[in-house]
Amino acid sequence: MCAFTVQNIFSLACRDRCMAKLRTLIPLPSHGKPPNSTAAVLVPLCRVEGVPSLLYTVRSATFRPDVIYSGQITFPGGKCEKDETAVQTALRETKEELGLPSEKINVWGQGPAIPSQTNEFMITPVIGALQELKPTDLMININEVAEAFTVPIAHLCDPKNQFYTQFSNGYILPVFIAEDYKIWGITAYITHAFLTCALSKNVYHNEWLKKKIDIKSE
């Protein structure tokens, strides 16, 4: 499908459209008093054997508990250090976790901050595009990341891979299934926000609203 070609998704027009829409999104409300602590994640748009994809990480079971959540699927990222911008945090954490230097990442911009699931942090998503990504490009920090994997954009847009779950606080958020991986929570919300802003409505639909799935660890 032409909508999922490198020429389309990595184009300047797609970048401009994505960031213009992302900046106007109404973020999820915090459940309680908005947290003072801040964090940032990188949404890594990459090419895997010429296929536009998103890069995800699985947090190490021994991952420090001060950011987001050991054992879960996330984007690379973490807590902002003093006087750091969200972009600086996202790039620093991506290098620390995956060994990807900032000069290989073309930062598109950032979206509005959203509260973490535990309401401990306000998380800013930073969109960044990489060139062709190969397994040898990654130097995984096993103290923080158990593994990294990519999912084609076309797979995420396929309705058969989309579900939703409802949390105890009332939030209804998407869930994306990619083989044995379940992408849920704030990571799924950011994925949904990116796809909504980067792609047209006839390419990415809210089909996940039609099928519920239970997440045991919610």
Architecture of the domain spanning 2-156? Alpha-Beta Complex (3.90)
**Beta strand pairing status for 162-166 and 145-152?**
unpaired
**Interior CA angle at 93 toward 89 and 99, to 5°?**
140
Does the pLDDT value for residue 66 go beyond 50? no
Instruction: Quick: pLDDT tens for 14-38.
Output: 999 999 999 888 777 777 777 789 9
164 strand-pairing partners: 174, 212
Instruction: Quick: pLDDT tens for 157-203.
Output: 999 999 998 877 677 889 999 999 999 989 999 999 999 999 998 89
Q: How far apart are CA 89 and CA 81, in angstroms?
A: 7
Helix (H, G, I), strand (E, B) or coil at 153: helix
Structural domain boundaries of the chain? Answer: 2-156
pTM over 0.85? The answer is yes
